[in-house]
């Protein structure tokens, strides 16, 4: 199917969004649904997946989902199979969004924390991408989009966030390499790099700094906001807006890039 033919197709391509029950992933699922895509969502907590599907369906969007842990290869295989079976179509858009924060003074970081941050933020991106390119059907399609939610922490170091920063730098590297690899196929691959975005994860990060610095979460928020030229956190909707744009045909020449949504926090 050509890109033009795809534009005219009665049903827009299927999008798989990981970590879509909260924050940025939820905003992305809602935005892609509003653009007419058939969306398949996942997160680990089944009750939240069901609630998210019900909420988005109640908004008139075409959304289904399943509980899945993106760290688990078998779960990833089942997830992609479920998305394909549900819509009877390949997964044409993959948004690797599921992620976790994690850090502390490096000398005190446990093996468990290190490996879990890398498994959740980096290894999952490889597992999902490989599965969508094979059993998900994306590799055989003339059009596709892979969008990895990295972070400005994937371009600059984050104080007391070595595992997180390492995982996100690696996601940016993976994105750039895969973008070159898939360029001849019509599938673009990009990373979207949020700065500070007001989500439950952002609140957990403030709690963590408040504990380490022995201060209040309000003080931490002031400190973080003072580093952002715009003076405020970005919204999940602002991040979803760039993700949505990257799925359009106008964005066909954007590939192998890492694009910030950060109020000026990141500068490259
Ligand atoms: N918020 C920020 O300031 C910010 C800045 C830069 C980058 N980011 C990145 O943006 C992405 C989303 O962050 P957010 O702030 O929206 O986080 P959030 O509000 O904590 O939401 C995270 C989502 O991912 C799911 N999830 C977590 N671990 C998972 C796993 N192993 N398997 C499947 N799903 C999993 C969560 O559901 P369950 O817990 O039920 O699984 C939830 O739906 C992350 O990759 C994060 O690193 C965020």
To test the ligand 1 pocket, which listed residue (39, 43, 156, 261) has its Cβ within 8 A of the most ligand atoms? 43
How many whole angstroms from 95 Cα to the centroid of ligand 1? 12
Query: Catalytic site residue 164?
Result: yes
pLDDT value of residue 5: 40
For ligand 1, what atom is nearest to the CA of residue 67? 33
pLDDT value of residue 3: 39
Q: What is the CA radius of gyration of the chain?
A: 18
Residues with CB under 6 A from ligand 1: 18-25, 42-45, 48, 69-71, 97-100, 120, 149, 151, 194, 196-197, 199-202
Alpha helices by DSSP H, listed for the chain, are 3-8, 23-34, 46-58, 73-87, 111-118, 124-133, 162-182, 200-213, 217-226, 236-246
pLDDT value of residue 11: 79
For ligand 1, what atom is nearest to the CA of residue 236? 16
Say which CATH architecture domain 3-195+235-258 belongs to: 3-Layer(aba) Sandwich (3.40)
- Smallest CA separation from ligand 1 atom 36, residue: 19
Tokens of 207: 């709690």
The burial of 60, by beta-carbon neighbours within 10 Å (0-12 exposed, 13-18 middle, 19 or more buried), is given as exposed
pLDDT value of residue 4: 44
Domain spans in the chain, listed from the N-terminal domain onward? 3-195+235-258, 198-233
For the chain, 268 residues long, the average pLDDT of each consecutive 10-residue run is 43 96 98 98 98 98 98 98 98 98 95 98 99 97 97 96 98 98 98 98 94 95 97 98 98 98 96
Q: Which residues of 218-253 are buried (b: 16+ CB within 10 A; e: fewer)?
A: eebbeebeeebeeeebbbbebbbbbbbebbeeebee
pLDDT value of residue 7: 45
- As beta bridge partners, residue 261 has 194
């Amino acid at each position: 199917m050509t890109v033009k033919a795809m534009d005219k197709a009665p049903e827009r391509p299927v999008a798989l969004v990981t970590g879509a029950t909260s924050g940025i992933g939820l905003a992305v699922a809602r935005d892609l649904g509003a653009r007419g895509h058939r969306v398949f969502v996942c997160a680990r907590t089944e009750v939240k997946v069901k609630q998210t599907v019900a909420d988005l369906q109640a908004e008139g969007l075409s959304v289904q989902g399943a509980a899945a842990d993106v760290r688990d290869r078998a779960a990833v295989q089942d997830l992609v199979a479920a998305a394909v079976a549900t819509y009877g179509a390949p997964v044409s858009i993959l948004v690797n969004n599921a992620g976790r924060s994690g850090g502390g003074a490096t000398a005190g970081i446990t093996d468990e924390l290190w490996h879990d941050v890398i498994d959740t933020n980096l290894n999952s991106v490889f597992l999902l991408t490989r599965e969508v390119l094979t059993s998900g059907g994306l590799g055989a399609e003339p059009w596709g989009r892979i969008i990895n939610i990295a972070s400005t922490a994937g371009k600059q170091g984050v104080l007391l966030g070595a595992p997180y920063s390492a995982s996100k730098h690696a996601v940016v590297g993976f994105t750039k390499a895969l973008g070159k690899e898939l360029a001849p196929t019509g599938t673009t691959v990009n990373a979207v790099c949020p700065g500070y975005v007001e989500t439950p994860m952002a609140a957990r990060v403030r709690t963590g700094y408040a504990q380490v610095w022995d201060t209040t979460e309000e003080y931490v928020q002031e400190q973080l906001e003072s580093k952002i030229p715009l003076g405020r956190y970005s919204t999940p909707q602002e991040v979803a807006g760039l993700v949505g744009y990257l799925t359009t045909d106008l964005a066909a020449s954007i590939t192998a890039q890492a694009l910030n949504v950060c109020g000026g926090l990141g500068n490259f």
